[in-house]
Amino acid sequence: MSLIFIVDDSTLSLNALSHLLESEGHKAICLKESTDAADMISEARPDLLLLDVVMPKLGGLELLGELKARPGMDMMPVIMVTAKTDAEDVRAALDAGAFDYIRKPFEAIEVLARVRSALRTRHYMERLVYLSEHDGLTRLLNHSTILRELGRSLEALSTPGCGLTVVMCDIDYFKRINDGYGHQAGDAVLIALGKLLIDAQGATGIAGRYGGEEFCIILGGFDRAMALRWAETFRAVVEAREWEADGRRLRFTMSFGLAWTESGEGRNSGEILAEADRRLYLAKGAGRNRVVAADQDPVTAT
């Protein structure tokens, strides 16, 4: 079931379109007033919008422009519903960001066909975006996306005392797994570890595959002590677990480097990543299977 908003000043059109869409199993929300529609639509994030072109207060093209200028609304397809069907009017609607248009008076078969086409295209677009942002093996965010998310997270540190932690970690002696068990087993380990990271990152965490067997986790809202406990707990879980990989069972450990920053420090993503990465290599140099959260005295694994 898709959520579809309809904005039209005609009660007749609203009733006809909503009945038609609901008969196809969609949920239709009708708005007769266009002036406050942008806020409602932005909050609800519908799968599709049917938008009348000619309305008394705020015209459909103006509302469309306002919506498309808002963050995260570019993926929502918009079908204009209009009695104005000359080439110039159609061009104006498409140039403003509309996906398609429906003529008034409309035919049920045409409305449903264009709605299906718009929803199908949205699904394809969302799939392409997902594939471009996620690692194909682990389903974690890929390298470029985790860097982008770190930049966004740092920009959002506006509240005094608010902070975040970057955790860089990797699998100890991962080459031994590939050499001793085969690359399929190595891939199975990465897939299973990706699932564990997704489960462990929590509501404010973001996890990505930084490259190879190295991972980056952003812990929003964690202070130093909380982040250290998170990393130590995850390290202990990995160490204690017996992993199944390509029909064989094995064990491995991980090393962790942490870097923490807070609002007002003005540190960029490159600086905090370099600090976390440096501490990861301190952990590996100190014997692996440990967490290092400061440049002195690496934490010894328990």
**Looking at the annotation, which residues are catalytic?**
213
Strand spans (E) along the chain: 3-7, 27-31, 48-52, 78-82, 100-103, 163-171, 205-211, 214-220, 243-245, 248-250, 254-262, 291-292
54 vs 63: CA distance, rounded Å: 11
At CA 155, angle to CA 151 and CA 161, rounded to 5?
120
Residues 6+ apart with CB under 8 A from 198: 139, 140, 207
Residues 6+ apart with CB under 8 A from 36: none
What residues pair up with 30 in beta bridges, in sequence order? 6
Which one-letter amino acid corresponds to residue 229?
Answer: R
DSSP 3-state of 292 = strand
